[in-house]
Amino acid sequence: MQTQDLRDAVLRHLTYSLGKDPAHAQTNDWRLALSFAVRERIVDPWFASTRATYGGKHKRVYYLSMEFLIGRLLEDAVVNLGLMDAADEVMSGFGQNLHNVLSDEPDAALGNGGLGRLAACFLESLSTIGCPAYGYGIRYEHGLFKQSFRDGRQMESPEDWLLRRNAWGFPRPEASFRIGFNGRVAERDGKPVWEPSEAVLASAHDTPIIGWQGRWANTLRLWEAKPVDIFDLDRFNRGEFAAAAEAEASARTISRVLYPDDTTYQGKRLRLQQEYFFTAASLRDIVRRFDSEYDDPAWLPQKVAIQLNDTHPAIAGPELVRILHDEKGMEIDRAIETARATLNYTNHTLLPEALEKWSEELMSDLLPRHMTLIQRIDEHHAQEKPNRKVRLIENGDVKMGELSFVMANRVNGVSALHTELMKQTVFEDLHAQYPDKIVNQTNGVTPRRWLLSANPRLSNLIAGEIGMDWVDDLEQLARLEPLAEDSAFRKAYRDAKRANKAELSQWFRDTHDVALDPDAMFDVQIKRIHEYKRQHLNILEAIALWQEIRDNPNGDWTPRVKIFGGKAAPGYVFAKEIIYLINSVAKVLNADPVTSKFLKVVYPPNYNVTLAEKLIPAAELSQQISTAGKEASGTGNMKFALNGALTIGTLDGANVEIRELVGADNFFLFGMTASEVVERRKVHEHAAKAIAADPRLARALDEIRAGTFSDGDGERFRSITDNVSGHDYFLVSSDFTDFWRASREVDRAYRDSTSWTRMAVLNTARSGWFSSDRTIRGYMGDIWGASAVPA
Ligand code: CRA
């Protein structure tokens, strides 16, 4: 019945929504027809969810984020609605392959990395749990750039996910707000009023996000920037064609592109405009919805919880105060208190270069009223904490982290270690003043996407043993634990991994023309390229290993394929050098007839959510090797452990919790701790000392300097070798020796496939805690005071 209905709906949409004759329909048309047919089934639960929220006067959660790295949506929706088999049958009936149809969808990359992907997992968990929530962000015309390699170097080209029709967004031109910039603060009846001199329209697009089993759906509302006046007809008529469209172009610029920086912050006017644009539109929408139900703005904190995803929406503090005070006439200190009781802030990084600051000059120019309100908030804070050291404005800069902290009811870190370090470092003084404000909520990942749909072989195996309850109660995976001792189960588990590896190898052959040995260990490091993540440590280890294999080609080596994936921010020169080095090393190693059967390095370009979904299920070793104290949490690390890859890692971010849960015996630990790192940096010439103590490291560096990977040009990778042997802030040299030791331990462990599989099973069985459902329940209880609506 389900199949018949779905078939009819697909055909109906192909014909009447897309105007295509089945005889001439292309994959893209079938994909859109299926998407519309599936979307149709989301609409009723979506409306029902909205009605239930209004009817029960439930508290709503609003997640404000500059980034939502959602990837493809069709498969998510099909899986959550339980339509996988039906869709497969229907598509085959039309002579289409469901897998090809699903793969045709552009990967919506409206984010850079972990922070954006976390937001996407959270939306899905909020819907699965049935917590009334909205995600608010920007509908970038171009998401994260496309990466390609030319002669080993990163090239960037614009991403174009909207070129083909987007099946998921419902445009809501009626939901538009005028967002002002610049101008001045005037006084009317003795009260300050902001009179902006420029404005753009924020126009909404809604995407329903359906939870597991279609019980609940929330909304992701993304704002598109449009001109207030479409077009200057006078100028056009005067023949000034380009000038006539200028206002439009400049308005649209605001939602044109995603800033491609990950954990580095760029102080650009456009960035601040983007931040204010989406924050102001979202707050107006939130307040409008609140006003439609309640008369008294004092009720706001009871009915609304707003989460600021990092400082990017930090302007929400002064903006909400402006709305409550300037527009609704609430007394200023009460307005500050009310806003503060409503807002919460998640910190995602301690890296100083990522902590946003805006010059007072820019802020006063672009948002003059907000600048005066920030001063007022600063005073309010001064009265509250007279012995304070912290100022919101310092050396001519507004500090957005401090502003967010002061304006938040709760501030959270994203792993236990990160939260502790927040208390000890960036927010030490503020934490002393508000000792109850900082709480921890360790990140999580949605098991629907990262296990059930990305890894059907493992999911089926699990389902055969413990049923399907784990899908929305991931700690049920603990029931697999005894099976680690069951040789038949281990074999099935190993077979599933082997089949995933074979499939990935086939993909590499088809798309990149490289042959991988599916019996080699698949060792994967996929994440943004950043010095603190230390992809250069990993490639140095590969060089050293290659040298040893060459010395002893008949040795008993454990075959390995090292897989890298990740983009570098276009302006991050050092990260791009690392990419170039990895590709250059890969070229030499893979062409070596003697060593390449033991060691290969591959680096597929354009790593994104879709590629992650292919790589993670096939991975056996997960590289989580950041300098301790630098990776706030990581979420890839959780996806790997869940899919049965063992971690080689430092005590950083959520690695610490992963190791605690999966057990120290099932985790390859190496490297300095966060406090050792701090101490080590004080050692004079620490890098030179580490190199002098480790001939392997010295030799690997010399090999680069000799030009082996650069056609004899010894200068090409000087920036890297100089850094690692010189300043070496991220302590690549100091951690190398222990990384080498742990890597060889991995080699030994891999050779005993029984015990390796046992460890892998235990990783899966003990990763249930890393579900984003658990994280969201934590936010609901500790931060938002929100509840799920009973079904
Ligand atoms: N780059 C952290 O570095 C963390 C995610 C999500 C990051 C990761 O360790 O897992 O956030 N920080 O919490 C960030 O974006 C602005 O800071 C990240 O994605």
Per DSSP, the residues of 623-638 read EE-PPTT--S--SHHH
Whole-model pTM above 0.80? Answer: yes
688 within 8 A of 722, measured Cβ to Cβ: no
Question: Are 87 and 188 within one domain?
Answer: no
For residue 722, what is the domain's CATH number? 3.40.50.2000
Going by C-alpha positions, the residue among 577, 588, 502, 498 that lies closest to residue 542 is 588
789 within 8 A of 132, measured Cβ to Cβ: yes
The CA distance from 686 to 679, in Å, is 10
Question: Are 220 and 172 within one domain?
Answer: yes
CA distances from 390 to 62, 399, 725, 761 (A): 28, 10, 38, 49
The CA distance from 322 to 279, in Å, is 13
Q: What pLDDT score was predicted for residue 718?
A: 98
The H or E element containing residue 560 is strand 560-565
CA 769 to centroid of ligand 1, rounded, Å: 19
Q: Let me know if residue 22 belongs to a domain.
A: yes
Residue 207's CB is within 10 A of a number of other CB atoms, namely 24
Q: Let me know if residue 28 belongs to a domain.
A: yes
Going by C-alpha positions, the residue among 162, 167, 129 that lies closest to residue 38 is 167
133 bridge partner residues: 61
The CA distance from 86 to 54, in Å, is 34
Determine the atom of ligand 1 nearest the C-alpha atom of 414.
Answer: 13
Q: Phi and psi (nearest 5°) for 147?
A: -105, 135
Q: Is the dihedral of CA 245, 251, 255, 259 positive or negative?
A: positive
Q: What pLDDT score was predicted for residue 360?
A: 97
Q: What pLDDT score was predicted for residue 1?
A: 64
Q: Let me know if residue 789 belongs to a domain.
A: no
Going by C-alpha positions, the residue among 80, 98, 77 that lies closest to residue 89 is 98
Q: Which residues are catalytic?
A: 348, 527-528, 533, 635, 639
The H or E element containing residue 193 is strand 191-195
Tokens of 605: 């370009």
Pocket test for ligand 1, best of 633, 658, 730 (most atoms within 8 A of CB): 633
Question: Are 484 and 625 within one domain?
Answer: yes
Residue 296's CB is within 10 A of a number of other CB atoms, namely 8
Residues contacting 681, CB < 8 A, separation 6+: 729, 731
Question: Are 650 and 681 within one domain?
Answer: yes
Alpha helices, DSSP H, located in 343-445? 360-366, 368-384, 400-406, 416-424, 428-433
Q: Let me know if residue 553 belongs to a domain.
A: yes
Going by C-alpha positions, the residue among 91, 80, 87, 157 that lies closest to residue 123 is 80
CA 117 to centroid of ligand 1, rounded, Å: 9
Q: How many CA atoms lie within 13 A of 38 on its CB side?
A: 30
Tokens of 567: 């983009």
Q: What domain count does the chain have?
A: 3
Determine the atom of ligand 1 nearest the C-alpha atom of 113.
Answer: 19
Q: What pLDDT score was predicted for residue 505?
A: 98
Residue 706's CB is within 10 A of a number of other CB atoms, namely 11
451 within 8 A of 741, measured Cβ to Cβ: no
Residue whose CA lies nearest to ligand 1 atom number 6: 115
DSSP state of 165: P
Cα angle 326, 332, 333 (rounded to 5 degrees) comes to 160
Question: Are 96 and 140 within one domain?
Answer: no
CA 567 to centroid of ligand 1, rounded, Å: 15
135 within 8 A of 63, measured Cβ to Cβ: yes
Residue 478's CB is within 10 A of a number of other CB atoms, namely 15
Determine the atom of ligand 1 nearest the C-alpha atom of 310.
Answer: 16
CA 780 to centroid of ligand 1, rounded, Å: 21
Determine the atom of ligand 1 nearest the C-alpha atom of 346.
Answer: 13
| Secondary structure (3-state) at 260 | coil
Residue whose CA lies nearest to ligand 1 atom number 12: 348
CA 556 to centroid of ligand 1, rounded, Å: 40
CA 493 to centroid of ligand 1, rounded, Å: 32
Complex ipTM over 0.90? yes
Question: Are 258 and 372 within one domain?
Answer: yes
Residue 15 domain boundaries? 1-56+78-106
Pocket test for ligand 1, best of 112, 263, 271 (most atoms within 8 A of CB): 263
Return averaged pLDDT per consecutive 10 residues of the chain, 791 residues in all: 93 98 97 97 97 97 98 95 96 97 95 98 98 98 97 97 94 94 93 94 97 98 92 83 86 94 88 98 98 97 98 98 97 98 98 94 98 97 84 96 98 98 97 97 98 97 98 98 98 98 98 96 98 98 98 97 98 97 98 97 97 98 98 98 98 98 98 98 98 98 98 98 98 98 98 98 98 98 97 72
314 within 8 A of 283, measured Cβ to Cβ: no
Q: Let me know if residue 277 belongs to a domain.
A: yes
Ligand 1 pocket by C-beta < 6 Å: which residues?
Answer: 113-115, 118, 262-263, 310, 348-349, 354, 414, 443, 631-635, 653
Question: Are 95 and 137 within one domain?
Answer: no
What is the Rg, in whole angstroms, of the alpha carbon atoms belonging to the chain?
27
Q: What pLDDT score was predicted for residue 264?
A: 84
Question: Are 374 and 479 within one domain?
Answer: no
Question: Are 116 and 138 within one domain?
Answer: yes
Q: What pLDDT score was predicted for residue 712?
A: 97
Alpha-carbon torsion angle 509, 515, 518, 523, nearest 10: -100
Question: Are 238 and 356 within one domain?
Answer: yes
The CA distance from 384 to 88, in Å, is 62
Burial of 517 (0-12, 13-18, 19+ CB in 10 A): middle
Question: Are 94 and 165 within one domain?
Answer: no
| Secondary structure (3-state) at 205 | strand
